[in-house]
Amino acid sequence: MNQIQLLPAVEQFLSQPGRLFIGGTWQDAADGRRFAVENPATEDTLTEVAAGGERDVDAAVAAARVAFTGAWAQHSPAQRGVLLFRLAELLDQHREELAQLITLENGKPIATARGEAASAANIIRYFAGWPTKIEGSTLPVSPASGAPMLNYTLREPVGVCALIVPWNFPLTMCVWKLGPALATGCVAVLKPAEQTPLVAIRLVQLIEAAGFPAGVVNLLTGLGAQTGAPLAQHPDVDKIAFTGSTQVGRLIAQAATGNMKKVSLELGGKSPNIILPDADIVRAAKGAADGIFYNQGQVCTAGSRLYVHASVLDQVLEELQRHAAAHVLGPGLDQASSMGPLVSARQLGTVRGYLQRGQEEGAELICGGDRPAHLERGHFIRPSVFLDRAERACVAREEIFGPVLTVMSWTDIDELVLRANDSPYGLAAGLWTRDLRSAHRVAAQLKAGSVWINCWNVVDPASPFGGYKQSGWGREMSKNVIDAYTETKSVFVDLA
C-alpha cells in the first residue's frame, strides 16, 4: 500500500465541525442540527457539518439580496475580475489540500482528485476574464412613427442565484456555476450535495480569503429535503442552476414556477459510444473503457452504451475485459488505486440492483459484477461489462451511474444512428473511426450536446456543455453560460 499522508491543514480542517456561511459569518444551523460525512472507502465518519433548514435558507437569501443591491453592486467589472483571478491563485496554492478533501469524501483516486483541483483553478481563471467582456449592442431600428431613435441593449446580472451541485465532481461543479455567476455580477447561495460538503466549505473559505464582500457567496450545507427544496422554492431567488439527476431536475423545474425563476439544468445521460469497423480497435477499446470506468462510472457523460461493429465485436470485448481486470480497486488515498469506491451505500445498492436486473432481463455479464474479495469495507464494486444482443435490458436503457458498460453490436450505420438516438437523454455521444467523412456525417446526426470523435470526456471552459432532451436546459461554461446569468434590457431614446 502506498497511502499518502494527510496534510496538517486537512487534519485540522476535519477536527472542526463544518458550519454554514451566511452574510460573511460562519455559523451553526439555526436549530443546531448536524449530519455526519462519511469516507466511502472505509465507512468511517470524517466529521460533522451543519444541517441547514428553512430559517437558514431565509437568512442566506436575504444576505445575498443585501449584497447584490449594496456592496457587490459597487464593484466594477474590472474589480470583479481581480477578485476572481485572486481566487484562482488561491485554488492553485491549496490544490493538494482540496484534492485530499475530494478523495476523502467522494472516494475517487487521488490522481483524479488532483486533476479536478487543477481544473477548478483554470475554470475560475477563465471566468475571471469575462467581467470586462460582457457588453450590449446598438441596433439600427426603424420605428413605425418614423422618429429618429437610438436603441441600445444592456446586459445586467439576474440577481440571487441558487447553485445546487452534485457529489460526483464536488469542486468542479461548484466553480462551473460560481464562475459565471460572479463574473456577471450575480450573488450566490451555494448548496453542495450532502455526501460531499467538505470541499465546498474549503472553497468558500478561500472565497472569503480572496476578499469577496460579505453576502456575495453564501454556503448552505444540509439534506435535500430540508435545505435544497426550500432554497429552490424561495420567492426571493431569481435563478436556479442545478446539476444532478433528471428526476430531481423535474422537481427543481416545478419549484421554480412559483416566481418564474430562471432555471438551468444539467441532468442525466445514457451516452452512446460507437466503434466503426475501420477504427484503431486497441485505441477505441481503451477509450471506451476509460469513458465508462473513469470516476467509478459516476459521470453524467459516461459512455455507458457501446455500439461495436459486428466484425470487430470479439476483439473489442477481449480488450474491454483486459482493461477492466487491470483496474486496481482500493482507497483513493492509496496511490496504487486506479478505481475507488462508489460514493455511498445507497449508490452501491443501486448499481448492484442493476447488475442483478440486467442478468435477469437477458444481458450476458462478461466480467465484473461483484465486490472485490480483498476489500472488506467500503462501497466497492468491480468494473463490469454486459453484452446485450437484444438491447432490451435495463442496463442498456437506464442511467446506472456506476462502472457498468453495456455492449451492443451493429452492421448498418443508418440503423445504428436511430438506435443511438433512441433514448430520452442527449448529453453526450462519441465515435471511433479513421474515416473523417463518416465521423463528421455521424456526428451531425447524433442528438447530443457534446460529440467526441476518437476521444471521450474532453471538456474546456471555453466550450459549451449541456444536453438535448431530458439531459437538461441551457449550457454550462463558455460565452453561452453568460446568457444564463444575465438579463437583456432594451433602451430606446427619442432623438427628435
The maximal CA–CA distance of the chain, rounded, in angstroms, is 83
User: Which phi and psi angles does 329 have, rounded to 5°?
Assistant: -90, 135
Q: For the chain, first and last CA: distance in Å?
A: 80
Distances from the Cα of 353 to the Cα of 234, 289, 297, 404, 424, angstroms? 36, 22, 15, 12, 21
Give, for 289, the enclosing helix (H) or strand (E). Answer: helix 281-293
362, three cell numbers:
437477458
- What secondary structure does DSSP assign to 336-366, as a single string? T-SB---S-HHHHHHHHHHHHHHHHTT-EEE
d(CA 95, CA 120): 9
- Nine-digit cell string for 496: 427628435
Is 223 strand, coil or helix?
A: coil
Rounded CA separation 259/277 (Å) = 53
Strands laid side by side in the 138-139 sheet: 138-139, 149-157, 486-494
In 300-457, the DSSP E strands lie at 305-309, 364-367, 384-387, 404-410, 425-426, 428-432, 450-453
As annotated, the active-site residues are 266
Identify the bridge partners of residue 25 per DSSP, sorted by sequence position.
22
Q: Provide the H-helix boundaries in 361-435.
A: 394-397, 413-421
CA atoms in the 13 A half-sphere facing the CB of 377: 8
Find how far residue 409's CA is from the centre of its chain.
Answer: 30
